[in-house]
Chain A
Amino acid sequence: MPIESVFPRLEALLPHVQKPIQYVGGELNSTVKEWDSCDVRWALMYPDAYEVGLPNQGVMILYEVLNEREGVLAERTYSVWPDLEKLMREHGVPQFTVDAHRPVKAFDVFGLSFSTELGYTNMLAALDLAGIPLSAAERTDEDPIVLAGGHAAFNPEPIADFVDCAVVGDGEQAVLDITEIVRAWKAEGRPGGRHELLLRLARTGGVYVPRFYDVEYLADGRIGRVVPNAPGVPWRVAKHTVMDLDEWPYPKQPLVPLAETVHERMSVEIFRGCTRGCRFCQAGMITRPVRERSITGIGEMVERGLKATGFEEVGLLSLSSADHTEIADLTKGLADRYTDDKIGLSLPSTRVDAFNIDLANELTRNGRRSGLTFAPEGGSERIRKVINKMVSEEDLIRTVGAAYGNGWRQVKLYFMCGLPTETDEDVLQIAEMAKNVIAKGREVTGTNDIRCTVSIGGFVPKPHTPFQWAPQLGAEETDARLAKLRDAIRGDRKYGKNIGFRYHDGKPGIVEGLLSRGDRRIGAVIRAVYEDGGRFDGWREHFSFDRWMDSADKALAGTGVDVAWYTTRERSYEEVLPWDHLDSGLDKDWLWEDWQDALEEVEVDDCRWTPCFDCGVCPQMDTQIQIGPTGQKLLPLSVVNK
């Protein structure tokens, strides 16, 4: 049965909304397939505004992987802004995909990628607009399977009421495996309805279906245990790991929007995973082991991607891009290739200790020399030992000195506030560091006209990290500490004028903390916030702390637990954590030891250049570190190709 486009009805609403171009689709390299030529159909959502969601690499990769397959189609949908949402409700226009403007409810699978927990209310808005019941228990065979992925899915319990299933880890192979299961079930005439389909997915051991797990609570509010309640459903659900990145050179044809978006560049993921072992970093913990893309594989992706897009900038993405074993050859090779085309290179994440000025010079050879960004994360040597971010102040000063000496005039430094064991003293040390940076810059350049910006936000403890047991610092305490730091910086006569100070207040962090380490009881809070009008919680102008707190008070009444219980409470070794049955590969005992090491200020090295320290991932997931060097070089592209 063909599905009608909602575009004619949507079109009449577009003259009345802001930036209508974001809703019309037609991006370069987007794909529209015949509905009837496909038997498995995915609607993929990044639950935020188009301008943020479109450049998302995860969605772009899965969109292409799925659309490349015969008989499979994937279309994209994003959160609509409140102005359009209101009109859609008035005129009965459902949540639509931007590709062919098909209603989301008509698809087999509705997959959402959560990089952050702050997208949960947007998911509810999309489900509601789509005409899909918010509660998974109320869905029928007419509704798509609602599937969550992305980093936030490593603790899907707060959204367990709303999603039918969740997948943790790399999505490339996983979406194809799920597609085959859906296809077979449909071909058999949908035996047993969605219950049977979900059961088949759950039994693979790689798809978490919340309804097949019962959560039992203790009298004090903690979890007693989480038990499978259907035959053949495993006790723990494993994450997915793609081992050879060169086999998955996606996106091959990145989407190029007409509307302006947050990242306008050709992005290539140069490696996945990170074993630096920063204890606050969920991404680094859950994406192990490190798997590099080869220098030649990267070169091919850049070449093909630039041709397909016309972008002027190449972003070499990873969790710590300067750590690629062939980063020097890679950046030099790319800069050489694209000198005449005025293509700029960027490394979004660089560590101070892996950075050197040759690298920086290659990066800016073809483009602007705007600013350098580093993330020491902690102000004092002591706190950096606690978080295992082992960059010394000397490294930092030496690096920024070289940068200022080579023509940079602006350095940005990122920090966190509220780290475990942190005191005012640790945070005030940030001011000293910034002053030393300016002093060094003045010394090297002989001018006072240089800048350093300190950017700081509250730390949120995350599941599957050594800090998953840690108490989060309260919003008021965070704000008080940030105020002291601000005064210390602004009050400095000699350097204060040259130091910018940007900070995020503690309140959004408390909501993020509640959602990050929440359990199934938090679902009622999310729903209450949504019903009270909560949307776009990642946007300052839409976020309401009071709404979250009021909704939590109401929704958690009578449970014996509250926001503080979820956020500022320290957990003990024996507590069953809401995400324990989702297997990231990390050995819980190793995480606990690492937490104890943190408290004792003991550092752990990187297993890429020291022996394995038994985090558990490789043996548990049957994976291994995949790094170079390959010894290959990027040769100049032939003239004919240009």
Chain B
Amino acid sequence: MQRIRLRYTKRGRLRFTSHRDFQRAFERALRRSAVPMAYSAGFTPHPKVSYANAAPTGVASEAEYLEIGLADFRDPQELRAQLDASLPTGLDVVDAVEVRTPNFVERLEASLWELRLPQVGAEQAARAVELFLAADEAQVERQTKNGLRIFDARGAVARLEAVAAQAGVGPVGESAATSDVRTGQACAILRLVVRHATPAVRPDDVLSGLRATADLALPVPAEVTRLAQGPLDEESGTVTDPLALDRAAAPAVPSETAVEPQAAASA
């Protein structure tokens, strides 16, 4: 069995796709593009797909990851293009590598998030960030299935900064129509690096923390995008590419066998 790791996005309006919705859509895309999936054994066999650390519903992402098992060999780049064409625009498959290293999920140590705060001034945001970072902890509440949980949102934050807002530029991958209405309005932008800890600290928990420590209130909901997830460089606070190890372990010349199954089928 060949295994392939894929990076995909949830962009624009499709950020409202829940993880369950994405799973269904992805498995149908596999069928439409006739990917030779490996199936689990058992009474109702399922295609072998494992998903890692999905972003919450309503949050956009440039860096979601999953892994699939194939019954037959495929060239990762061709497979990527094929799946990408089969999925709706916004759910885009942007990277693929053949699996050559174990423990992928442990490699996803942290995420880099971009938080756009419409109608919030840049200075106001910068002050709030300062106060938040100066605090030892920021107790926040979140409603979970098991009731209200109270936890610290400060400890997991490796880096937080307010970056200069550019007028008229929408979030990454956002449709032009979406960013147009915001043009001309103040919009603070935060860059946030959060360690993947337990309990998980999400961007909206950090926003709750900003409200708790710095009284930052949002007139309209923040637009949140995960820009990256992967190994965390603690010193610089940067998140690096989790597929780099697999890429490095790949043989110098890509295998040429990818075209053969097709040739055999039409023969």
User: Contacts A8-B181, A26-B14; is A642 near B265 (CB within 8 Å)?
Assistant: yes
Please indicate which of the listed interface residues A16, A26, A306, A642 has the most CB atoms of chain B within 10 Å of its own CB: A26
A26 in contact with B32 (CB, 8 Å): no
Q: In this assembly, does B107 line the interface, its C-beta being within 8 Å of a C-beta of chain A?
A: no
Q: Which of B16, B27, B86 contacts A20 (CB 8 A)?
A: B16
- Mark interface residues in B1-37 (1 if CB within 8 Å of A CB, else 0): 0000000000001101110111011011111101000
A12 in contact with B221 (CB, 8 Å): yes
Interface residues on B, range: 35 or more
Output the least CB separation between A8 and chain B (Å).
4
Q: Which residues of A485-528 are within 8 A (CB) of B?
A: none
A15 in contact with B221 (CB, 8 Å): yes
Q: In this assembly, does A128 line the interface, its C-beta being within 8 Å of a C-beta of chain B?
A: no
B45 in contact with A28 (CB, 8 Å): no
Residues of chain B lying within 8 A (CB to CB) of residue A342: 39, 45
Number of interface residues of A (CB under 8 A): 36
Q: In this assembly, does A258 line the interface, its C-beta being within 8 Å of a C-beta of chain B?
A: yes
CA distance A264 to B61 in the complex (A): 27
Q: In this assembly, does A568 line the interface, its C-beta being within 8 Å of a C-beta of chain B?
A: no
CA distance A306 to B32 in the complex (A): 8
CA distance A21 to B90 in the complex (A): 13
Q: Which residues of B171-202 are within 8 A (CB) of A?
A: 177-178, 180-181
A11 in contact with B24 (CB, 8 Å): no
A256 in contact with B28 (CB, 8 Å): yes
Q: Which of B44, B86, B88 contacts A258 (CB 8 A)?
A: B88
The B interface is mostly helix, strand or loop, or mixed, namely helix
CA distance A368 to B46 in the complex (A): 13
A7 in contact with B177 (CB, 8 Å): yes
Q: In this assembly, does B155 line the interface, its C-beta being within 8 Å of a C-beta of chain A?
A: no
B20 in contact with A310 (CB, 8 Å): no
Q: In this assembly, does A14 line the interface, its C-beta being within 8 Å of a C-beta of chain B?
A: yes
Output the least CB separation between A387 and chain B (Å).
38
Q: In this assembly, does A213 line the interface, its C-beta being within 8 Å of a C-beta of chain B?
A: no
A312 in contact with B58 (CB, 8 Å): no
B13 in contact with A310 (CB, 8 Å): no
Output the least CB separation between B181 and chain A (Å).
4
B178 in contact with A21 (CB, 8 Å): no
Q: In this assembly, does B220 line the interface, its C-beta being within 8 Å of a C-beta of chain A?
A: yes
B13 in contact with A7 (CB, 8 Å): yes
B180 in contact with A12 (CB, 8 Å): no
Q: Which of B16, B27, B265 contacts A14 (CB 8 A)?
A: B16
A259 in contact with B29 (CB, 8 Å): no
CA distance A11 to B14 in the complex (A): 11
Output the least CB separation between B113 and chain A (Å).
16
B29 in contact with A5 (CB, 8 Å): no
User: Contacts A8-B180, A309-B28; is A21 near B44 (CB within 8 Å)?
Assistant: no
Residues of chain B lying within 8 A (CB to CB) of residue A642: 34, 265
User: Contacts A12-B221, A642-B265; is A260 near B88 (CB within 8 Å)?
Assistant: no
A260 in contact with B265 (CB, 8 Å): no
B16 in contact with A24 (CB, 8 Å): yes
User: Contacts A258-B14, A309-B28, A342-B45; is A20 near B57 (CB within 8 Å)?
Assistant: yes
User: Contacts A20-B57, A258-B21, A639-B265; is A11 near B28 (CB within 8 Å)?
Assistant: no
A311 in contact with B16 (CB, 8 Å): no
Q: Which of A19, A25, A260, A341 contacts B24 (CB 8 A)?
A: A260
Residues of chain B lying within 8 A (CB to CB) of residue A633: none
B58 in contact with A14 (CB, 8 Å): yes
B17 in contact with A21 (CB, 8 Å): yes
Output the least CB separation between A21 and chain B (Å).
5
Q: Which of B14, B45, B221 contacts A24 (CB 8 A)?
A: B14
Q: Which of A5, A23, A260 contacts B177 (CB 8 A)?
A: A5
A260 in contact with B20 (CB, 8 Å): yes
Q: In this assembly, does A1 line the interface, its C-beta being within 8 Å of a C-beta of chain B?
A: no
Q: In this assembly, does B143 line the interface, its C-beta being within 8 Å of a C-beta of chain A?
A: no
CA distance A583 to B34 in the complex (A): 49
Residues of chain B lying within 8 A (CB to CB) of residue A218: none
Residues of chain B lying within 8 A (CB to CB) of residue A28: 25, 28, 88
Output the least CB separation between A366 and chain B (Å).
11
B181 in contact with A368 (CB, 8 Å): no
Residues of chain B lying within 8 A (CB to CB) of residue A309: 28, 32
Q: In this assembly, does B146 line the interface, its C-beta being within 8 Å of a C-beta of chain A?
A: no
Q: Please name the residue on chain B nearest to A14 by beta carbon.
A: B16
Output the least CB separation between A481 and chain B (Å).
40
Q: Please name the residue on chain B nearest to A9 by beta carbon.
A: B181
User: Contacts A8-B178, A11-B178, A26-B88; is A260 near B16 (CB within 8 Å)?
Assistant: no
Output the least CB separation between B126 and chain A (Å).
25
CA distance A618 to B89 in the complex (A): 49
Q: Please name the residue on chain B nearest to A311 by beta carbon.
A: B28
Residues of chain B lying within 8 A (CB to CB) of residue A24: 13-14, 16
B25 in contact with A258 (CB, 8 Å): yes
Output the least CB separation between A443 and chain B (Å).
26
Residues of chain B lying within 8 A (CB to CB) of residue A21: 16-18, 21, 57
Output the least CB separation between B142 and chain A (Å).
15
Q: In this assembly, does A608 line the interface, its C-beta being within 8 Å of a C-beta of chain B?
A: no
B21 in contact with A259 (CB, 8 Å): yes
Q: In this assembly, does B266 line the interface, its C-beta being within 8 Å of a C-beta of chain A?
A: yes
Q: In this assembly, does A187 line the interface, its C-beta being within 8 Å of a C-beta of chain B?
A: no
Residues of chain B lying within 8 A (CB to CB) of residue A308: 32
- Apart from the given pairs A8-B177, A8-B180, A23-B16, 8 other A-B contacts in the complex at a CB distance below 8 Å: A7-B178, A16-B221, A21-B21, A24-B13, A307-B32, A310-B31, A341-B31, A640-B265
Leading 7 A-B pairs by shortest Cβ distance: A310-B28, A310-B31, A310-B32, A20-B16, A8-B181, A24-B13, A15-B221
Residues of B within 8 A of A (CB): 13-14, 16-18, 20-22, 24-25, 27-32, 34, 39, 43-45, 57-58, 86, 88-90, 177-178, 180-181, 220-221, 265-266
Question: 19 A-B Cβ contacts within 8 A?
Answer: A8-B180, A11-B13, A11-B178, A14-B58, A15-B58, A16-B221, A21-B17, A23-B16, A26-B13, A26-B14, A26-B89, A28-B28, A28-B88, A258-B17, A258-B21, A258-B25, A307-B32, A310-B86, A642-B34
